[in-house]
Amino acid sequence: MNKLRRVLKLHFLGKNKLQITASTGLSRNTVRKYLALQRELAITWNDVLLKSDKELDDLFCVKPAEPEGERLAVLREYFVRHDRRLAQRGMTLRRHYDTYAELHPDGYRKTAFYRHYYQWKRRVAVSMHIVHKAGDRMYVDFTGEKLSYCDADTGEVRMAEVFVAILGASQLTYVEATPSQRVEDFIGCCQRSLHFFGGAPNAIVPDNLKSAVIKSNRYEPQLNENFEGFADHYGMAALPARAYKPKDKALVEGAVKIIYTTIFASMPRHPPPSLEALNEAIWELLKKHNSDHFKGRTYSRMDQFIEMEQQALQPLPEQLYELRHSVQATALKNGHVCLSPDKHFYSVPCALVGKKLRLLYSSSTVEVFYKYELVATHRRVRSPHGYSSLKEHMPAGHQALEAWSAEYFLEKASAIAPEVEAYIRQVLHRRNYPALAYKSCQGILLLSRSVGPQRLAKACRRADSFELYSFRVVEDILKRRLDDDDAHQEDLQMPRHENIRGKQYYQQSNDESLLTGEGHE
């Protein structure tokens, strides 16, 4: 606007076009155009002094609007209907124009078609500038290109997927080679990236790969169950990018392009001897990538991370996330369900016998759900045909049987009387297999309910004196009320009979032999 004012001032001072051109440095055509507009608008020097730069720009520099003809309206309608075709693989703008020319032979030629298309695209495809807050989002993606490595077991060359994660605010980047994009490898890479950053952001933004999104949707995509569980474990929200909308994760798309030049181009020509060696080479180059200053700036990605984003991340939980799988099973009559991959049985509450249950299992635990309610948790055991049982899952009668042991019966007996404890100990000791004595012990202890602890103690003492140890002996003593007799009874008199000599005979015979000397040398 300063040059425009000088042109008009020199014109009003009586200078000609050549003098004005030489003084202002503008071309003669530009000076001629300004002076023609001044004559057309009949503007005086006082009018120029009173007008602002914006008003002068509106008068002298606004381009005339292109006439809106029918051909242009048809062309723009064609752009609206057919622009999505350019997103198809192999579709080019030249083929786009060929289709237009076939449909509208009287329309614009190729050069005008290109010019109007780019003008229309600039107006309708405006990019939004996203302000990345510290600790807010982490963007993840896989590179299109792969890196090779040698399998340590077979020696064959394999191709590894390359995972990239980047924090929004600091642009600190993590890169790792992994065997595949399967859910196990994908979640493992995401988890190691969080531990590389030392914290978790508020949200994670993945692509629409099957390991993260089962069914894409513009508004409510269906997430992979394990990926959703992983995000919940680390306190993150999962925000998948829209399908075919790379601008939703433009930061990681740009990071992938940079990784191609900073890491891929610097990798050794020969494949590393293992996947671990490949990652070691990647991480060495990644350290330099994160430490190098941004172009034209005095700080690096690592500097930005330490200064503004490290403290904004959420602390990581103590336990790592474990990938879980889901199977369905029916509770058997014995109160157990079978985890089919291991062929191992786990107990469930006895009330759920015959019900359909859902088992979620990881490398260390097995969780059993009934109608979305957790009903049992077990440590995972991989031994086939084995049983893992919890006492509280059994019926009351089974729990009592499960509690039977030598210590259990001795404790119960000691609470009745010391004689009963001593007798029970002998019952347990004299059986080859202790479990065979449990029924006898249980029967003996239950007798105290009907006869009382005192009579049971006397009966046990009497049975012990005869060294007879069984339930039937104690029961018979109590039935015949032999426990009422005194422990020290008088010896019974030997009945008289001619065939019974008695002890006096042996004493007398001994004395006679001593007198006669018989039986001695």
pLDDT tens track for 373-389: 898 999 988 888 888 88
Q: Give the SS3 label for residue 205.
A: strand
pLDDT at 38: 82
pLDDT for 162: 95
Band of residue 489 on the pLDDT scale cut at 50, 70, 90: very low
Q: Write down the pLDDT at residue 520.
A: 45
Taking the CA atoms of the chain, what radius of gyration do you get in angstroms? 49
With 50 as the cut, is the pLDDT of residue 238 above it? yes
Residue 173 pLDDT level (bands cut at 50, 70, 90): very high
- In one letter, which amino acid is 233? H
pLDDT, mean over the chain: 82
Maximum mean pLDDT: which of 111-115, 332-336, 402-406: 111-115
Q: Find tokens 């023609």 and name the residue.
A: 36
Task: Classify 171 in phi/psi space as left (phi over 0), alpha (psi -120 to 50) or beta.
Answer: left
Residues 6+ apart with CB under 8 A from 368: 337, 346, 348, 357, 358, 359, 374, 375, 376, 377, 378
Q: Predicted confidence band at 56 (pLDDT cuts at 50, 70, 90)? A: confident
Q: Is the dihedral of CA 278, 283, 286, 288 positive or negative?
A: negative
pLDDT at 129 over 70: no
Residue 33: pLDDT band (50, 70, 90) is confident
Q: Is residue 230 very low, low, confident or very high in pLDDT (cuts 50, 70, 90)?
A: very high
**pLDDT computed for residue 127 by the predictor:** 53
Distance CA 140, CA 204 (A): 7
Q: Quick one: average pLDDT of 179-208?
A: 92
Q: Phi, psi at residue 222, to the nearest 5°?
A: -90, 115
Q: How confident is the model at residue 519 (pLDDT cuts 50, 70, 90)?
A: very low
Structure tokens at 202: 């508020």
The two tokens of residue 152 are 């340590």
Residue range 136-172, pLDDT digits in tens = 899 999 998 999 999 877 888 999 999 999 998 899 9
**At 368, is the pLDDT very low, low, confident or very high (cuts 50, 70, 90)?**
very high
Residue 492 tokens, joined: 């019974």
Look at residue 515 and tell me whether its pLDDT is greater than 50.
Answer: no
Separation of CA 424 from chain center? 55
Q: Rounded to whole angstroms, how far apart are CA atoms 491 and 503?
A: 14
